[in-house]
Amino acid sequence: MLPETRSKDLSRSDLINEFAIKMVSVINAQDLAWFVAREIVGSLGYEDCVIYYLDKSGDCLYQVAAIGIKNPEDDQILNPLTIEVGVGVTGQVALSKQSALISDLRMHCNYVPDLEPGLSELCVPIMFGDRLYGVLDSESKIIDGYDDEDRKIFETISRLIASKLALIEQTEIVNKYTVELEKKVEERTLELKIANEQLAYLASTDPLTGLVNRRRLDELLEIEFERTSRFGAELSLILFDIDHFKVVNDTRGHQVGDEVIAGVGKIAKLLSRKSDTHGRWGGEEFLIIAPQTDDVGALSFAEKLRVAIENGEFSGDVKVSASFGVASFRGDQAVKDMLKRADEALYRAKRLGRNRVEIDVVG
């Protein structure tokens, strides 16, 4: 029975409101059980409180928290019980989903005595809708230890517990799916990043040589030209073309021709510096963008490339040569002018016999 001093200070609704406010901060089912047990014994003044939760199978009740005549500790259960649904007062309440107020346990055939048997008992189901979460139980060492007012208080508390358990359960489900969703989003984001990188690579790479393609060369050339113009640095272009490439295609076939183009591209890549950009300009033509390189340095570099290509063997036994045109940055001209000068130097190399390097003539 609710202690008179406590009931005089607060009405039943006040007690429940106070209880509910305190319960807000509890965030898991285990802590909730101990909170309720402590409040019922410590704040409401009852002798005893035991909280049982229904196990996953739905066949047994297990003690989660117990404070009072059977368990003096307030943070652990000394003698935890497991009760089958339908057995004893607690099990019958779980089975019937109806409260039980027993004034004299000595006269009750279903009572299962514990280490400290009581003389009266109040037991109510913890229900949310039709869902049984467990049982809220209290025993007293006196006969008629509980009345109908106590039953109403316990039933109200049990509804609060059930509502909180349902909220905790839903929160855990949401958190679980949130974690799974975040993981999936992370995975998809990574996949998208990789896919975008692959697309960017494919969009800027020549598939035959693995060098950058014409579109990307145009972009990088504009960037390097702007940087050179701003800081007054050096910049050179090396444009070269495989000599008599049509003959290779006509006599050895397009597959061998492709292998020759790929081989020449490999040489250009191997001999270039990390700061250089080497790419396929189109057909059998290649372009190297050489920042921080003046005409003398570019001429020397082009000659090394020419010799390496001339001495190389492609597709087993195919020998080719290449002609080169070199142009360097002039502050009073645009990118297209620089490319034009490199192209003119290349065609001059072809007119003069091929397999040679020519530099643009300052006019």
pLDDT in tens, 6-41: 444 456 677 778 888 888 888 899 999 999 999 999
Looking at the chain, the domain(s) classified CATH 3.30.450.40 span 4-172
Confidence of residue 362 (pLDDT cuts 50, 70, 90): low
Q: Which has the higher per-residue pLDDT, 111 or 233?
A: 233
pTM assigned to the model: 0.56
Q: Where are the alpha helices (DSSP H) in 205-294?
A: 214-231, 245-252, 254-271
- Catalytic residue selected from 121, 139, 284, 285: 284
141 close to 163: Cβ distance less than 8 angstroms: no
User: What's the chain's average pLDDT?
Assistant: 90
At 217-267, the pLDDT tens digits run 999 999 999 999 998 899 999 999 999 999 999 999 999 999 999 999 999
What torsion, rounded to 10 degrees, do the Cα atoms 14, 16, 19, 20 define?
-110
Residues of the chain with CATH 3.30.70.270: 214-359
pLDDT of 291 higher than 60? yes
Does domain 214-359 fall into CATH 3.90.550.10?
Answer: no
> Among 3.30.310.40, 1.25.40.10, 3.30.450.40, 1.10.357.10, what is the CATH number of 4-172?
3.30.450.40
149 is catalytic: no
Helix (H) or strand (E) holding 326, with range, is: strand 322-328
> Which among 140, 135, 145, 98 has a CA at the least distance from the CA of 116?
140
Each residue's pLDDT tens digit, 36-59: 999 999 888 898 999 999 999 999
Give the pLDDT mean for 72-94. 83
| Cα(321)–Cα(72) distance, integer angstroms | 97
pLDDT: which is higher, 185 or 13: 185
